[in-house]
Amino acid sequence: MKVFDYARPRTIAEAIAAAAEPGSVYLAAGTNLLDLMKGGIARPDRVVDVTRLPGLDRIERLPDGGIRIGALVRNADLAQDPDFARTYPAVAEALLSGASAQLRNAATVGGNLLQRTRCGYFHDVASACNKRNPGSGCAARDGENRLHAVLGWSEACIATHPSDFCVPLVALDAVVEIEGRSGRREIALEDLHRLPGHTPELESALEPGDLIVAIRLPAEAAAFSAHARYLKLRERTSYAFAVVSAAAALDIEGGRIRQARIALGGVAPKPWRARAAEDVLTGSAADESGFRRAAAAALADARPSGDNAFKIELAKRIVLRALALAAAGTPEQLPALPASSFSSVPGAHHAA
Amino acid sequence: MSFSISLTVNGERRNVELQDPRTTLLDLLREHLRLTGTKKGCDRGQCGACTVLVDGRRINSCLALALSHDGADVLTIEGVADSADLHPVQAAFIAHDGFQCGFCTPGQIMSAIGLIQEGQTGDDPERVREGMSGNLCRCGAYRGITEAVLDARKSLAQAERRDAA
């Protein structure tokens, strides 16, 4: 690990001033950043520790019915908040399907949004990687790429975004509050992460010094609480990143879908909102034929970036099954294996 | 430049001078305080051998910067027994053969203590296995570990009921 200067600002203004300097990074829990620094993938000159900033660790119900989650709230604390889990069950399920209990106890929600891809070539400093070293090429393009992106990728980069948490959040129109050098602003989570195009090193809409201070869910997100699930296929039962995942949230009245929300994880360089699939379901019956058409629509633009054509069919099946699970209703208690495809599935076919 | 931090480790106040900001909480425990019960396995947050409780919560000490934990209350494997009496989780690991080589065991035990305090598993072995998935055991003692955690949870709950009565 490269040596760095350590700063622990007392106020957000001090933090922004320190982090706006070239070579500076914010440090929250460090569950991703310290790993990257140990591997030489991140080599900051200065680490700005934001964990002591006041007022960023609260979960607040807003007067308009929405909820505001401070950026320093720990993943485990948000997932275990009974009111939050009841109102936004797919978000809680996604959180509990990510990493391990130890990491969830430490990791912050703000940091989760900004975690880096787990592409093996990004993590191997001896490999070509346009994201880590712009212009060096993409070793994944002709390498081991069965887990890489099938949506939103470019010739320059085929890495996927690893977050589970972001998938239901983007489905529920989450908003990110940012403090920066020119004051406070907010953007849709859907616009926080950029597609790689020719510049995969530019991963987000954040400017130097920008600090995520909170994530908000609008009041409308609560309309899906009775029919919302997250489903995540992994290469082992627990403690693994998604091969493919999906968040499905339905607002059902009298057997018909008033509105639907669908997003995918593990398939694209950002949490992938599937609006075309949502449109297919709006106003239709909550049944398998509609879910099947929605799943096809969600992957209509997908194409393999390597040895990963199987992920397209797999993603369709995961979307279909997540929709069937959501239609069956949010369970009273989360299953022992949150988001797992190995949990018993009432009303869904195994060979979807 | 050196940094001066102060932590409570196993109930004892410890002041530490750090010459290097890169020091992790794990290295602080092992190299500065000579508490080598906490193990360095992968050092990348993947194996759980370095699990300790910080302010009552289990975390991976290898992915925690020591400087960030100025003022923290840390509990390691050295601090769980009550003088000569093993902690109920330690006793249960012995009773159920919850280890072979023992390298992952301090992390397993600290994780199990954290898991039981979190109170999310009940007596469901599947929830225990899921809750312990951040601790790898290359000897494959998982079956004994799960039985030990379930047994210790039961005995701790009984002790709590006795204390309340």
Cβ neighbours of residue B142 under 8 Å, at least 6 residues apart? B129
Judge whether A237 lies within some domain: yes
Q: What is the CATH number of domain B88-164?
A: 1.10.150.120
Mutation target among A27, A51, A93, A105 for the B interface, most CBs of B within 10 A: A105
Cβ of A27 within 8 Å of Cβ of B130? The answer is: no
Which of B21, B63, B115 is facing A35, going by the closest CB pair? Answer: B63
Q: Is B140 helix (H, G, I), strand (E, B) or coil?
A: coil
Q: What is the pLDDT of residues A41-68, one digit of tens each?
A: 999 999 999 999 999 999 999 999 999 9
- Measured distance between the N- and C-terminal CA atoms of chain B, rounded to whole angstroms: 55
Taking CB atoms and an 8 Å cutoff, what residues of chain A touch B45? 31, 35, 102-103
Q: What is the CATH number of domain B3-79?
A: 3.10.20.30
Q: What is the arithmetic mean of pLDDT over B47-52? A: 98
Distances B42 to A350, B63, B98 between C-alpha atoms, Å: 37, 11, 21
Task: Inform me whether the C-beta atom of residue A124 falls under 8 Å from chain B C-beta atoms.
Answer: no
pLDDT given for residue A348 in this prediction? 44
Taking CB atoms and an 8 Å cutoff, what residues of chain B touch A101? 58, 111, 114-115, 118, 131-134
Task: Inform me whether the C-beta atom of residue A217 falls under 8 Å from chain B C-beta atoms.
Answer: no
Cβ neighbours of residue B32 under 8 Å, at least 6 residues apart? B16, B18, B23
Domain hosting residue A240, numbered range: 225-328
Which of B3, B24, B126 is facing A336, going by the closest CB pair? Answer: B126
Q: What is the pLDDT of residues B97-143, one digit of tens each?
A: 999 999 999 999 999 999 999 999 999 999 999 999 999 999 999 99
CB A240 within 8 A of CB A262: no
Please count the structural domains in chain A: 2
Which of A29, A99, A337 is facing B126, going by the closest CB pair? Answer: A337
**CATH code of A288's domain:** 3.30.390.50
Cβ of A238 within 8 Å of Cβ of B133? The answer is: yes
Which of B43, B65, B133 is facing A27, going by the closest CB pair? Answer: B65
Q: What residues does A138 pair with on adjacent strands?
A: A129
For tokens 């020119």, the residue is A182
The two structure tokens encoding residue A121: 């070539």
Reduce the secondary structure of chain A to three states and give it as a string. CCCCEEECCCCHHHHHHHHCCCCEEEECCCCCHHHHHHCCCCCCCEEEECCCCCCCCCEEECCCCCEEEECCCEHHHHHHCHHHHHHCHHHHHHHHCCCCHHHHHHCEHHHHHCCCCCCHHHHCCCCCECCCCCCCCEHHHHCCCCCCCCCCCECCECCCCCCCCHHHHHHCCCEEEEEECCEEEEEEHHHCECCCCCCCCCCECCCCCCEEEEEEECHHHHHHCCCEEEEEECCCCCCCCCCEEEEEEEEEECCEEEEEEEEEECCCCCCEECHHHHHHHCCCECCHHHHHHHHHHHCCCCCCCCCCCHHHHHHHHHHHHHHHHHHHCCCCCCCCCCCECCCCCCCCCCCC
**Alpha-carbon span B45 to B49, nearest angstrom:** 9
Question: What ipTM is given for this predicted complex?
Answer: 0.98
Cβ of A29 within 8 Å of Cβ of B111? The answer is: no
Helix (H) or strand (E) holding B6: strand B3-9
Q: Is B101 helix (H, G, I), strand (E, B) or coil?
A: coil
pLDDT given for residue A344 in this prediction? 60
Cβ of B64 within 8 Å of Cβ of A105? The answer is: no
Judge whether A176 lies within some domain: no
Shortest distance, CA B151 to any CA of chain A (angstroms): 19
Q: Of the candidates A1, A56, A2, A6, which has an alpha carbon nearest to the alpha carbon of residue A27?
A: A6
Shortest distance, CA B104 to any CA of chain A (angstroms): 15
Taking CB atoms and an 8 Å cutoff, what residues of chain B touch A24? none
Which of B58, B124, B134 is facing A239, going by the closest CB pair? Answer: B134
The two structure tokens encoding residue B4: 């001066």
Low-confidence stretches of chain A (pLDDT < 70) are 344-352
Task: Inform me whether the C-beta atom of residue A62 falls under 8 Å from chain B C-beta atoms.
Answer: no
pLDDT given for residue A39 in this prediction? 98
Distances B35 to A263, B17, B85 between C-alpha atoms, Å: 46, 16, 19
Question: Average pLDDT, whole number, for chain B?
Answer: 97
In chain B, where the domains are located: 3-79, 88-164
CB A129 within 8 A of CB A156: no
Distance of CA A10 to the CA centre of its chain: 29
| Cα angle value A18/A77/A84 (rounded, 5°) | 115
Q: Percentage of chain B with pLDDT > 90?
A: 94
CB A335 within 8 A of CB A327: no
- Count of CB atoms within 10 A of residue A37's CB? 21
Taking CB atoms and an 8 Å cutoff, what residues of chain A touch B22? 1, 3-4, 37
pLDDT given for residue B61 in this prediction? 98
Q: Which residues of B touch A (CB under 8 A)?
A: 3, 20-22, 24, 43-45, 48, 51, 57-60, 63-65, 67-68, 111, 114-115, 118, 120, 124, 126-127, 129-135
